[in-house]
Structure 1
Amino acid sequence: VLPTNPEESWQVYSSAQDSEGRCICTVVAPQQTMCSRDARTKQLRQLLEKAIKAKMDELRPLIPVLEEYKADAKLVLQFKEEVQNLTSVLNELQEEIGAYDYDELQSRVSNLEERLRACMQKLACGKLTGISDPVTIKTSGSRFGSWMTDPLAPEGDNRVWYMDGYHNNRFVREYRSMLAFMTTDNFTSHRLPHPWSGTGQVVYNGSIYFNKFQSHIVIRFDLKTETILKTRSLDYAGYNNMYHYAWGGHSDIDLMVDENGLWAVYATNQNAGNIVISKLDPVSLQVLQTWNTSYPKRSAGEAFIICGTLYVTNGYSGGTKVHYAYQTNASTYEYIDIPFQNKYSHISMLDYNPKDRALYAWNNGHQILYNVTLFHVIRSDEL
């Protein structure tokens, strides 16, 4: 089929033969723009434009993402520069101080901390030189009893423990604070598995330690779980009013605490009824060490221990003073004269609390406190 338009076909204008017999033709080719008017080409172009438009629609939402990525990349780069700067500074400090100097400095700091703790321990302890006038906290209960706080209670735990009577009772009152004890009668009651004997109970690190009635058995009772954690007999210790304090009241075994831990004060036949001091393990109740004194238990009004020294009063009524001291660290004793006011004329409990540095007393139905004055002697070679 020949094209109707000559411009759309190949046209031969002339032909000739060269010297070598080859045919030479002169032709005119169709215009280069002819393909653009081809129907198939137009269809392909439309499809291509449609595909490009669809791809652009897909890529257009990525534009803000790319912008955000660029911002994040810039921030990461800034962080990287800051880290590099910090690393450089730390390297300079390390070079300036030196690894050996740092270890030496740390060792010196640790040594100073140990010396400070030792110094504070020495300052916490001392020789008793005075007892303040009494402060009456509350008036309640019978003539005899005991009350106390836990010297190892965590910060903020100010509970007061209260035990009325000296025998045939097993209910311990818990007041949530000293203020609650002073101003209210709201308490929680704990029932012990056995009745106690005397007024020599102590609360120490969450447990109450008491002498089981009519026995020489010491019991450790957990006040949180309300279970017995340990029981142990104090061999040869008198009980059931055999070797009581001067006021009586089944006060044969007196448990105490001080800066050094848990103690038991009692008397034995082997020591002729004189006071025996035993250091106890607060967990196992095992006797760690024992000291025999020459002071008759029945002649003592009350006793308490401060910094490993046992102090004994000359009576429980009328004019009262501390007049005997036994130093367990040196196994020596001395007679002293430290008077204090017996305001209500019948002391049936007198115990030291190392946390408060005060004496807790039960005086004829009154719960009272005494502050103590301790004399410290620290030599320079001990620092």
Structure 2
Amino acid sequence: MLMGIKSLKIVKKTMDTDGSWMKDAVRDSPKVYLLTGSRNNTVWEFASIRAFMEDSTKPGPRKLILTHSWQGTGQVIYKGFLFFHSQGTPNEIIKYNLQKRTVEDRMLLLGGAGRALAYPHSPSTYIDLADAEASFLLCGVLYVVYSSGGLGPHRITCVYDPLGTVIEENLPNVFFPRRSRSHSMIHYNPRDKQLYAWNDGNQIIYKLQTKRKQPLQ
């Protein structure tokens, strides 16, 4: 479970206030994916984190034009598939094959998700597949990040563990290094055990301090 934020590294800076960037959450691949803006249909695929950081690295990124546009910054890449909220729909999720560039599946979330904002800090994101934006999942536990609007550091304000192995009252106060704006996205990559975040055009990696959850009594 999360015990603290050890360090912050700004990997890259783009001109876009909102967006998301990530690696595949499962596959052992060095590729990095960049999705700029909260409404778009272009994915940039970089061969490695170094290629992502250095614009002069050859070969350059691969440009993937999707057949559908996404909405928000809550995308996730899992086993080579990009999952995203289809733009202009209240609750349609698309499973997109990045290799074949085809839609593999689609589904409608029950209850009309997307008709109300999931997080008030980001009105562009209605459905958050990575539990990113203002919250993230780490080892099955949901952590919610509160932004003070530039008046202080961002911090974890709510923790939900469906198994009951993590009790919020027993957790330390977890603060993020101070940033001028709220995060456009935050999500945890279980392969490298780091948080990937987007803040005011900066693509950031947070290194974490964690410990094992105690088993249920």
TM-score higher than 0.5: yes
Matching residue within 104, 128, 131 for 1:254: 128
Which position in structure 1 is the counterpart of 2:53?
182
Matching residue within 135, 148, 153 for 2:9: 135
Which position in structure 2 is the counterpart of 1:367?
203
Matches for 1:1-383 after TM superposition, within 5 Å = 127-154=1-28, 157-167=29-39, 169-184=40-55, 186-215=60-89, 216-239=91-114, 242-256=116-130, 302-315=134-147, 317-318=149-150, 319-330=153-164, 334=168, 337-377=173-213
With over 3 angstroms needed to count, the CA separation of the structure-2 counterparts of 1:333 and 1:196, relative to structure 1, is: farther
User: Contact between 2:166 and 2:213, CA under 8 Å: does it hold in 1?
Assistant: no
Measured against aligned partners, the alpha-carbon deviations of 1:32-89 in whole angstroms (never above 9, x if no partner) come to xxxxxxxxxxxxxxxxxxxxxxxxxxxxxxxxxxxxxxxxxxxxxxxxxxxxxxxxxx
Structure 2 CA distance, aligned partners of 1:316 and 1:227? Answer: 40
Give the drift of 1:190.
Answer: 0.8
Count of aligned pairs between the two proteins? 209
User: Contact between 2:117 and 2:123, CA under 8 Å: does it hold in 1?
Assistant: no
Q: TM-score, normalised by structure 1?
A: 0.51
Give the drift of 1:314.
Answer: 1.4
Q: TM-score, normalised by structure 2?
A: 0.87
Gaps of 5+ in 2: none
With over 3 angstroms needed to count, the CA separation of the structure-2 counterparts of 1:316 and 1:250, relative to structure 1, is: farther
User: Contact between 1:166 and 1:198, CA under 8 Å: does it hold in 2?
Assistant: yes
With over 3 angstroms needed to count, the CA separation of the structure-2 counterparts of 1:133 and 1:237, relative to structure 1, is: farther
User: Contact between 1:219 and 1:231, CA under 8 Å: does it hold in 2?
Assistant: yes
Give the drift of 1:345.
Answer: 2.7
Higher fraction of strand:
2
Aligned-partner SS, 1:372: strand
Structure 2 CA distance, aligned partners of 1:316 and 1:193? Answer: 38
With over 3 angstroms needed to count, the CA separation of the structure-2 counterparts of 1:331 and 1:195, relative to structure 1, is: farther
Aligned-partner SS, 1:339: coil
Structure 1 CA distance, aligned partners of 2:167 and 2:104? Answer: 35
Give the drift of 1:165.
Answer: 0.3
Higher fraction of helix:
1
User: Contact between 1:317 and 1:342, CA under 8 Å: does it hold in 2?
Assistant: no
With over 3 angstroms needed to count, the CA separation of the structure-2 counterparts of 1:214 and 1:239, relative to structure 1, is: farther
Give the drift of 1:328.
Answer: 1.8
User: Contact between 2:165 and 2:213, CA under 8 Å: does it hold in 1?
Assistant: no
Gaps of 5+ in 1: 1-126, 257-263, 266-300
> Match of 1:356, as an amino acid?
D
Structure 2 CA distance, aligned partners of 1:250 and 1:143? Answer: 12
Give the drift of 1:136.
Answer: 0.5
With over 3 angstroms needed to count, the CA separation of the structure-2 counterparts of 1:209 and 1:342, relative to structure 1, is: farther
Higher Cα radius of gyration: 1
User: Contact between 1:197 and 1:250, CA under 8 Å: does it hold in 2?
Assistant: yes
Identity of aligned residues (%): 30
Give the drift of 1:177.
Answer: 0.7
RMSD: 2.4
Give the drift of 1:330.
Answer: 3.1
User: Contact between 1:132 and 1:340, CA under 8 Å: does it hold in 2?
Assistant: no
